Amino acid sequence: MRGLRELLDELIGHVRDTSRRADDMGPSELKYAQERLQWLVDEVWRLVLEGGDETL
C-alpha cells in the first residue's frame, strides 16, 4: 500500500502539471485530469481516516 506522503506528492505534482497545461488540454484530457484529481483526493482522505502514515 502506498503511503500518505507518496500520495500527497503525487497529488501536488498532478495539480501543478494540470494547472500549467490546462489551457492546452482538450476536453477528454481535462476530464481525465479531474477524475485523477478526485481519485487522489479520495485516497489521501481514506489514508488520513485510517490513521495515515506515521512517517509523514
- Spell out the per-residue pLDDT of the chain, length 56, in tens: 578 999 999 999 999 999 999 999 999 999 999 999 999 999 999 999 988 555 44
What is d(CA 21, CA 54) in angstroms, rounded to the nearest whole number?
A: 34
Q: CB within 8 A of 11, min separation 6: which ones?
A: 37, 40, 41, 44
CA nearest neighbour of 17 among 5, 28, 29, 6: 29
Integer Cα distance of 46 and 48 in angstroms: 5
Q: Which amino acid is residue 50, in one-letter code?
A: E
- State the pLDDT at residue 50: 87
Question: Mind listing the pLDDT tens digit for each residue in 32-43?
Answer: 999 999 999 999
Q: Which residue has the cell 483526493?
A: 41
How far apart are the C-alpha atoms of 46 and 36, rounded to whole Å? 15
- In terms of pTM, does the model score above 0.85? no
